[in-house]
Structure formats: C-alpha cells, structure tokens
Amino acid sequence: MPDQTFLDSTELVLNMGPQHPSTHGVLRVILKLDGEKVLGTECIIGYLHRGVEKIAENRTYAQFNPYVDRMDYVAAISNGLGYCLAVEKLLNVEAPPRAQAVRVILTELNRIASHLLWLGTHALDIGAITPVFYCFREREEALKIFEKYCGARLTTHAFRIGGLLYETYDGFEQDIRDFCNMFIPKVDEYEELLTNNRIWVARLKNVGVLNADECKEYGVTGPVLRAAGVKWDLRKAQPYSGYEKYEFEIPTCQNGDTYDRYTVRMEEMRQSIRIMRQAVESIPEGPIMGKVGKVVKPAVGEAYVSIEAPKGELGYYIVSDGSTQPYRCRVRPPSFVNLQALDRMIHGGLIADVVAVIGTLDIVLGEVDR
C-alpha cells in the first residue's frame, strides 16, 4: 500500500433523493461512501404514505376497491385482482369462468405494461434514452385496451368483488390478438437495442448480486428471486383465477445479478403474451358476476390471499368482523420487502451501481409507502 496520508479520505455521507429522478419516486437513500465505493445505505421511506390500510378500515369492501389501484399504480389491475380474490376467499365464492379468463388476460396485459415501464426507466437510468420512447409507445397500446375495457387507463378499477362489472367490448378479442402479434417483434427490438450492447452489459453484469439463499432470507420475490435461480411463481405454485389452465414457463437465470433480472423480465413479457394468446382463444361464455350480494358482508374470519404481481408476491390479509367494512386489511407489498434487500445488494458496489440496483428492483413508491 502506498503512503495514505495524501490520499486518505474520510467517509462521505451523501443524500440521494427524495427528489432524484432515478429513485423512481420519492425514495431517499443515505449513502455512506468511501470515494466511489458504497459502504452502507439507509433507505428513508414514507414520503408517499397515505394510510391505505387505515382507509380500508373505514370503507366498505366495495368502496375500498378503487383505493388499491393507487398502491402499485403501474400495475393497478394486479392490485385489484389480489384484493378481489382475497374478499372472494372470505366470502367463499369464486368468480365465474368467463370472468376469470378476462381477468387473466387483463392482468397479463398489465404485467407487460408494468414491465415496459420498468424497462424504459431502467434503461434511462443506465443511460440509454431510446428504449423509454419505444416502451411507452407499446405501453400506450396496452393502456388503450384498458381504457376501452373499463374506462380508465391507469387506476382502472376494472374488477369487482365476485367477478367483473364490465362485459368485454366488441372487438376485445381482436384487440388482444393484434397486441400480441404487434408486441413480440417489439420485444426482439428492445433486445436488439440492449442485450448485446457493451455499455448495457458492462453496467449490469455482476452488479447487485443477490443469491437464492439471500433472497429467501430477505423475503424477496418476483423476478428478483427467479433471476437467482429459484423456479417459483405463484401462478404455478398456487394457481389462482384459472392460471392452471394455461401453459407457460417460469423463466429463471442463475447469477442473480442485474443483467439476469433484465433477462428474466424480458422473457416474462413473452410468457405473458403466451398466456394471453391461450386465454383469448378460450374465453368461455357465461355470466361475469358470481353470487355476491349487493352488500358485501363476509362472515367473521380472516384470510390471506396472494398473487404474483409484476413485482413479486402481493398479499392481502383481511380480517373480517362480520360487518360491511374490513376490520383489518393488511397489504403485503412486494416492493417494500424487496427494497429491504437494497443494502445487501449494493454493499461494496460503486455509486453508479446504486442507480442500476434501484432500477432493477422495480420498486413503485406508492406501494412501498402505501
């Protein structure tokens, strides 16, 4: 070691966020740095805390439904599906097959929309500006389908407890088919832009590694877990809403680094298209609303239901006291739990990796803070 007296530096504490574009919202990270090396991080969250769980206790079951869209607002439909499934579990009813098929199609479409937003912003963080325009162009097509189906683009309120409110519109199937056909070449295009790009590879390979054991220890789910080599997807492990009827693969990788998470998500979009194609060809006829009364009033009890949201396991733990309002509605947010692993992932990395790792975790602060 050379003489350190001139080069010796003290630890630097750097504040990143909450108004920092690459923290994807209002995440504040306090970084402890030695030169460019990250020695430790601390996340300060809660800037977007709206008390969703408290609101739930003061609304009826049906009234709370639109609020869940506002947690993970880029995947509002997944949130709604999880909530509806949880209340349906408490009521012990199931949505009719037609409703389930439509739900699957829209949820997968929403997964694509969510992953597109992730890809665009993640690439933007790394320094590739082009993908964000292309991603938003394709995402727009998905949002248009949501708008046609339920009248809103982002916070959709698409599903109701017990099934669906809206029947599919004329040309819904064709729209989905068109989207599928249009989208597959687009994914290839993104891959052409990024997968082999030397800057992209250099910035992502071996950055933010989280292996399988650490993932389980931190409770990390979703693409992050699958990138570490664990072949686990709730759609396969504990199928809900008729996912057992469709054939699809669970994409996995081995290294658990940022590049693998990118690969996993790209492949997941292709698998979502595969599910949508199967589902749209086999939408059964029949009613779209299950046997649920006008006033939703589950028996006293509790249930925990979780689904595979684009970010990971999204769970709802609802306690009912037999009234029309949930006694307690706990949301298990995937982003919140995944964000906890941030410290582990960037420990010892460089400051530029922080941005890459926050991007790859695919957090939505609306869901972290609720």
Partner 1 sequence: MADEQKPGGSQAPPPEGGGAPKPPAKPAGEAAKVTPKPAAPAPPPKPPAIMAATPWDSDLARELKERFGDRILQTATYLGQNFIVAKPDSAIPVLEYLKLEADFDYMVDITAVDWPKRAERFDVVYILYSFPRNERVRVKIYIPDGYKPETAVGVHLTANWLEREVFDMFGIEFAGHPDMRRILMPEEWQGYPLRKDYGIIQQDQRWVQENLGIESGQ
Partner 2 sequence: MRKLLKKIFLVDLFQGLWVTFRNQNPKYIYTEQYPAERPKVAERYRGAPRLNINPDNGETLCISCNLCALACPETLIVVTSARSEVTKRKELITFTYDTSRCMFCGLCEDACPVDALELTQDFEMATYTREGQIWDRQMLEEGPKPTQYKC
- Single residue of 28, 57, 186, 270 touching partner 1 by CB under 8 A: 57
Distance CA 16, CA 43 (A): 10
Interaction mask 325-344, partner 1, x per CB under 8 A: x-xx-x-x---xx--x----
Q: Which of partner 2, partner 1, none interacts with 140 (beta carbon under 5 to 8 A by kind)?
A: partner 2
Interaction mask 21-60, partner 2, x per CB under 8 A: --------------------------------------x-
Give the tokens for residue 212: 């399988």
Distance CA 241, CA 105 (A): 11
Q: Is 53 in the site for partner 1 (CB under 8 A)?
A: yes
Size of the site for partner 1 (CB under 8 A): 49
Place of tokens 């769970």: 315
Interaction mask 92-131, partner 2, x per CB under 8 A: --------------------------------------x-
Three-class secondary structure of residue 39 per DSSP: strand
Distance CA 244, CA 235 (A): 8
Backbone angles phi, psi at 240, to 5 degrees: -130, 160
Q: Is 147 in the site for partner 2 (CB under 8 A)?
A: yes
CB of 237 to partner 1, least distance (A): 5
CB of 29 to partner 2, least distance (A): 30
Give the tokens for residue 5: 């007296």
- Residue span binding partner 1 (CB under 8 A) among the ranges 17-25, 135-143, 260-268, 302-310: 302-310
Whether the CB-CB separation of 271 and 249 falls below 8 Å is answered with yes
Q: Which of 24, 47, 120, 10 is nearest to 354 (CA)?
A: 24
Q: Give CA torsion, residues 82, 300, 63, 153, to 10 deg.
A: 10
Task: Report the half-sphere exposure of 16 (CA within 13 A, side-chain side).
Answer: 21
Nearest residue (CB) to partner 2, 62 versus 319 = 62
Q: Which of partner 1, partner 2, none interacts with 194 (beta carbon under 5 to 8 A by kind)?
A: partner 2
Nearest residue (CB) to partner 2, 42 versus 140 = 140
Q: What is the DSSP string of 18-30?
A: SSBGGGTBS-EEE
The H or E element spanning position 332 is: strand 326-332
Distance CA 211, CA 252 (A): 13
Residues contributing to the site for partner 2 (CB under 8 A): 59, 62-67, 70, 130, 134, 137, 140, 144, 147-152, 155, 157, 165-166, 169, 189, 192-194, 196-198
Binding site for partner 1 (CB under 8 A): 45-46, 49, 51, 53-55, 57-58, 60, 89-90, 92, 216-220, 230, 232, 237-238, 295, 297, 299-304, 306, 313, 315, 317, 319, 321-325, 327-328, 330, 332, 336-337, 340, 369-370
